[in-house]
């Protein structure tokens, strides 16, 4: 995730070799992501093949080859930095599904689904908040930015749960499968199934 572009951006600072690039990359993201050294080497080879970096001279005593950024590579990463990240909007969100299925099936009160999720998400938000409180922008900007993002996602989820609760309060009764098309009173287990269970 972003290793390719990370390598290009770091090489803009000057020629470097794979091992050093990995260290620098991990430091940039406050060691939040661990970067696989093998991936760094294969990525460098691919970048070289595509003309975005070139090997600069020979391997040193440890067999490390320094790479230099080409103009094409600089253009590539500059364009990447200026491109918005694709949004990950997935309507097939499992939480939405849980609420809707709980409501429809009657197997659980949808409020239980909301309460359980709210507790888990609030605990995560509390943990993020506590960790953030220990950091200052001077000391831990990298981690702070990552935590801000996680905290805001958690808040969005809590806001959404609040909204769900309010919407369910005022919503019409859920649609349920019924014993017969005209029978609208059956609301749980179909009669045949109920008979089998007893």
Residues engaged in binding other proteins (CB under 8 A): 32, 115, 118-119, 122-133, 143, 146-147, 150-151, 154-155, 158-159, 162, 166
Nearest distance from residue 2's CB to other proteins, in Å? 16
> For residues 40 and 154, which CB has a smaller minimum distance to other proteins in the complex?
154
Nearest distance from residue 108's CB to other proteins, in Å? 16
> For residues 87 and 130, which CB has a smaller minimum distance to other proteins in the complex?
130
Q: Which two tokens stand for residue 135?
A: 């950091």
Q: Residue 53 phi/psi, 5° resolution?
A: -135, 160
> For residues 52 and 151, which CB has a smaller minimum distance to other proteins in the complex?
151
Whether the CB-CB separation of 21 and 3 falls below 8 Å is answered with no
> For residues 95 and 127, which CB has a smaller minimum distance to other proteins in the complex?
127
Q: Residue 68 phi/psi, 5° resolution?
A: -120, 145
Nearest distance from residue 106's CB to other proteins, in Å? 21
Whether the CB-CB separation of 56 and 66 falls below 8 Å is answered with yes
> For residues 101 and 158, which CB has a smaller minimum distance to other proteins in the complex?
158
Nearest distance from residue 170's CB to other proteins, in Å? 13
Enumerate residues 6+ apart whose C-beta is below 8 A from 164. 99, 110, 114
Q: Which two tokens stand for residue 22?
A: 């990995």
Please state, in angstroms and rounded to a whole number, the distance separating the CA atoms of residues 29 and 145: 10
Nearest distance from residue 66's CB to other proteins, in Å? 31
Please state, in angstroms and rounded to a whole number, the distance separating the CA atoms of residues 183 and 180: 5
> For residues 65 and 127, which CB has a smaller minimum distance to other proteins in the complex?
127
What residue has token string 């993020």?
128
Q: How far, rounded to the nearest angstrom, does the alpha carbon of residue 34 sit from its chain's CA centroid?
A: 16
Nearest distance from residue 28's CB to other proteins, in Å? 14
């Amino acid at each position: 995730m972003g290793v390719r572009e990370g390598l290009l951006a770091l090489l803009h600072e000057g020629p470097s070799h794979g091992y050093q690039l990995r260290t620098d990359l991990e430091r940039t993201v406050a060691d939040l992501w661990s970067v696989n050294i093998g991936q760094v080497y294969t990525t460098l080879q691919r970048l070289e093949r595509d003309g975005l970096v070139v090997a600069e001279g020979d391997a040193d005593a440890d067999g490390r080859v320094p790479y230099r950024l080409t103009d094409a590579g600089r253009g590539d990463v500059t364009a990447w930095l200026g491109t918005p990240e694709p949004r990950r909007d997935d309507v097939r969100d499992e939480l939405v599904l849980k609420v809707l299925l709980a409501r429809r099936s009657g197997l659980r009160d949808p409020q239980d689904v909301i309460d359980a999720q709210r507790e888990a998400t609030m605990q995560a938000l509390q943990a993020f908040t506590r960790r953030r409180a220990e950091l200052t922008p001077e000391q831990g900007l990298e981690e702070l930015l990552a935590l801000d993002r996680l905290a805001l996602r958690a808040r969005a989820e809590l806001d959404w749960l609040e909204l769900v609760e309010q919407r369910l309060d005022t919503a019409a009764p859920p649609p349920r499968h019924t014993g017969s098309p005209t029978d609208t009173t059956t609301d749980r287990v179909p009669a045949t199934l109920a008979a089998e269970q007893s």
